[in-house]
Chains A and B, each alone.
Chain A
Amino acid sequence: MRYMPFAVALAWGCVGGAHASASLEALIRKADLVLRADTAAAVIEMKVKTSSYSRTMKLVSWADDRGQTKRALIKILGPALWRGYGTLKIGAQLKLYNPQNDNVTVVGNSMLGDSWMGSHFTNDDLVKETRLASHYRFEQVRTWQADAPAGGKAQYYLINLYPKPTAPVAWGRIAYTLWQRAGVVIPERADYFRKANDKRPQRRFEFTNVKALAGRLLPTLMKATVTKKPGEYTTIEYKHLKLDLKIPAGKFTEQALKR
């Protein structure tokens, strides 16, 4: 699901709500389109703030969303302690590269719950490809008019996403806020609830800094917070973005991961 690990989402890409209920389907599909491309590459700044540390990292991500097997590569650009660390995703497989001892680790089941690079995302978040359309049904909670972050009036929608009975998903409900203006649909917030009737979400993603980048209007900053850990967050901000580019050959190989 692309809205989740935002930068990663962009890198990973995702399938849109092809079979969503008719009226909402268009909205979801358009929101998808904002963050969607066949291929993408970006330079990103990630900030992690926890109770015990805070750090800022630069990273570059490459993603190829064509075909059945989604592929992506992330390399840390700096600072020194993490420079050269890499993550390669091919389908559901995740490999981590440590330049300090030139070692590649295949992420096994036991490590899926571990945090990715100390952020509030887990390795599992990177691997899982939840398809909104096939795994969730949509239900509009309400819609209203308000000032859009990019200026002017926008139509807001709050949509509840409930997993279909057989969907292999961890969430009982996702409350998804998005707005529409002049034919463009932009996501604003997603609250993830463990159970459908939970009062407090387990985590929240907020999409802000809506501006034009790579020829599109899109939110360029995403903030992830976890309800249980107040004061902690991870933000991801696009510094540079290119969509539908030609990705150099051999980008999604172990050699590229190590390079």
Chain B
Amino acid sequence: MAQGLTKLAWRNLGRNRRRTLITASALAIGTALTIAVIGLIDGMHAQLIHTLTRLDLGHLQAHQRDYRRTRQLERTLPHPVEVRRALERDPRVVAVSPRVHGAALASSGRRSLGVSLFGVEPRSEIKITEFHQTIRKGRYLDDDPTPWPRGRALTAAEAVDDERLTQQAEDAAIAEIEGDSQSKTAATPARQTRRQQTQRLARAIAPPPKRPPRVLIGKTLARYLAVGIGEQLFVSTQAVDGTMTELAVEVIGIFESGTTAFDRTRVILHVGDLRRMLHLDGRIHELAAVLVDLDRADDVALSLAGTVGPDVAIASWGMIQPTIRHVQQQNAAGSLIIMLVIFAVAALGVVNTMLMAVFERKREIGVLKALGMTAGRIVRMFVAEATLLAFFSALAGALLGLLLDLYLHQHGINLSANGKTTTVMGIGMGLTLRAKVTAFGVLMPIFVLCAVTLLASLYPAWRAARLKPAQGMREV
């Protein structure tokens, strides 16, 4: 019986081909557009998440409990070795890399700019982020940190010397305050000696590196500071003990990540070098990890959180950057609305087409009823007709949408009209928005269209079922 209805429904679609084709085209185009929109939105999310996870966060991070909130230098990760081992042992974790963060003023010549210092372990960091792939000039960091002798405490004799030097400086200052004319003449040579001796003591406590530490900087920063490969810039930052460190560093690589914030403010250097600059010894701020499955990051974070002790916070990229979830949710709601609007229009078309069909076939419906077709079967026949129409339109539309998606995936939409990247919630989007093709994004509109059409056909079908057989006869 079902096949009888389907056959009749199918044949009925062929009756007014032009009308069927127009309605089908509308449904197909609606489906294709919906699929393309969903593809672009999914593509945007994928790009946002990619930028976020593969240029910055990784999939998972471990910090000291309060670090993310306060970003204070002294809040370093407790038991970094154990936490790293715990992460690496987990089969869901692909790679782990330690990091240190700092803020600094980078200057070259007369120009200076606030930058963020990003200390990484070069060998393991390439498994987390892709900065090494975005290097446009020069090269990536060396595996080993800059040779940098360790400092030592002053000897007793040196300590006495130091106190004496302080006393001398104080005496000289008081003499100057009191306007002692005699001190003025004697001051200069004494000051020179003090300076040399101070230098010697300071270098014993905090020796400078053997050569300028090597850094990677973004293209925008390089242009702003007018520095090229092999050239130096000054980085001044405050160490964890409050001392100011000013250090010359050498640019060995210039990257272009496509994300404005990184290209403009990020200075990447060896984690060991940054630790020395910030006087952090063996401490780190962060362990970043990449997982087998990025979508399971929340679960992994939650399950690992229990194993690393209360001082350590483990968070997924989504927990660290919840805005992206909000964007995702908003866009999901947005695409649902787009889909419903498109399909509501489609549904109106279906209702119209089916009502016309019912009106045209009043007599035939009467005959079918006279022959013994029940109201239920008549409803089913019209619903089948609409659903068939929707299903094949949706299939065609899905094919078209898939092609559109693939085109938008291949070629993308250029977001950088003037070479500037677009950001969404402060997260860089890259230069091109590419559609992402997902099974869900293609199948969902098909399903929704069929469901909407099925619902939309109920009213005309009910109208048809209400016709009396005798009425049908009388039209004869």
Contacts and interface: CB of A to CB of B under 8 A. Distances in A.
Interface of A: 41-43, 48, 50-53, 55, 58, 60, 75, 77-85, 96, 98-101, 103, 105-106, 108-111, 114-115, 117-119, 239-240, 242, 245-246, 248, 259
A182 B165 CA distance: 42
Contacts of A78: 162-163, 165-167, 169-170
Nearest to A57: B166
Given A108-B112, A118-B243, A83 B198 contact: yes
Contacts of B177: 41-43, 60, 240, 242, 245
Nearest to A45: B170
Nearest to A40: B177
A53 B162 contact: no
Candidate in B113, B167, B241, B248 with the most chain A CB atoms within 10 angstroms: B241
Looking at chain B's contact residues, the main secondary structure is mixed
Interface string B355-398: 00000000000000000000000000000000000000000000
A60 B243 CA distance: 18
B241 A110 contact: no
A119 B241 CA distance: 9
A242 B248 CA distance: 39
Contacts, number: 119
A82 B243 contact: yes
B236 A98 contact: yes
A11 B178 CA distance: 16
Interface in B80-139: 103, 105, 107, 112-114
Given A80-B162, A81-B202, A117-B242, A58 B169 contact: yes
Contacts of A99: 195, 198-199
Contacts of B178: 242
Interface of B: 74, 103, 105, 107, 112-114, 154, 162-163, 165-167, 169-170, 173-174, 176-179, 191, 194-195, 198-199, 201-202, 205-206, 208, 234, 236, 238, 240-244, 246-248
A101 B247 contact: yes
B176 A248 contact: yes
A105 B206 contact: no
A52 B165 contact: no
Given A105-B107, A115-B242, A246 B205 contact: no
Given A83-B202, A111-B114, A118-B241, 17 more contacts: A41-B176, A53-B242, A60-B170, A77-B169, A79-B166, A80-B201, A81-B205, A83-B166, A99-B195, A100-B208, A103-B246, A105-B244, A108-B105, A109-B114, A240-B174, A240-B177, A245-B177
Contact of A43 (B170, B199, B243): B170
Contacts of B107: 105
